[in-house]
Amino acid sequence: MASPIIRDPHIDEDMVLRAMFEARKRVFIDLLKWDLPVLADRYEVDHFDTPDAQYLVLTDTELHHRASTRLLQTNRPHILADIFPHLCAGPVPTGDHVREITRFCLDRDLRAAERLDARNQLVIALVDHALANGIASYTGVAERSWFAQVATFGWRCEALGQPVRHGDQLLVALHIHIDASTPSMLERAGIHASLQYQLSAPRHGRRA
């Protein structure tokens, strides 16, 4: 499957990050009502947004946010190991070749068809990024209904334990395995990008 990614080496990464943090606030705080810190009444930024965090951000040609996610190194503090280790029936997967997916965010201004396309593009970007950077798997914490969707994307995705109630949600720890066969598996499952998309992979507080 040919990669539809466009990477602009001259992209303003600070602008991309600001748009992403603003979109996260509108989704996770304004829409989903998560209890999270807010910076300047505009940006959702927490203590995991350190210089070690990396982001995959999809934008349009004017750098408007379309979709994004945060990747945390698992040999450092991260959400599954530090907050939700009880979601795992066994040890939390960690290591140099494992990243945690957090803050998977689709912009609220997208129409339904655009949201689906942006979701597919971000999933493909996650796989492309893993293959290009020696990442063998991703972990994450998901609400049970979202985990059920993620598990149908075509990649090898497993639950690390039984769903556990957290407030009014049932949460699942997930583990996604990535290898050279994953892109074709996504395509067979219908996860494909119909248009080219622009991807930035900045870090917060320093250049990638």
Phi, psi of 8 (to 5 degrees): -100, 110
pLDDT digits (tens, 9 = 90+) for 53-86: 999 999 887 888 999 999 999 999 999 999 999 9
pLDDT band at 168 (very low <50, low <70, confident <90, very high): confident
Q: How far apart are CA 145 and CA 177, in angstroms?
A: 20
The pLDDT assigned to 10 comes to 58
Domains of the chain (ranges; CATH) run 5-200 (3.40.630.30)
Of 52, 56, 28, 208, which Cα lies nearest the Cα of 124?
56
Residue 61, pLDDT score: 78
CA 173, chain centre distance (Å):
14
Of 183, 109, 162, the closest CA to residue 118 belongs to 109
pTM confidence score: 0.89
| 73: three-class secondary structure by DSSP | strand
- CB count, 10 Å around CB of 136? 16
Give the span between the Cα atoms of 89 and 71, in whole angstroms.
23
d(CA 165, CA 98): 26
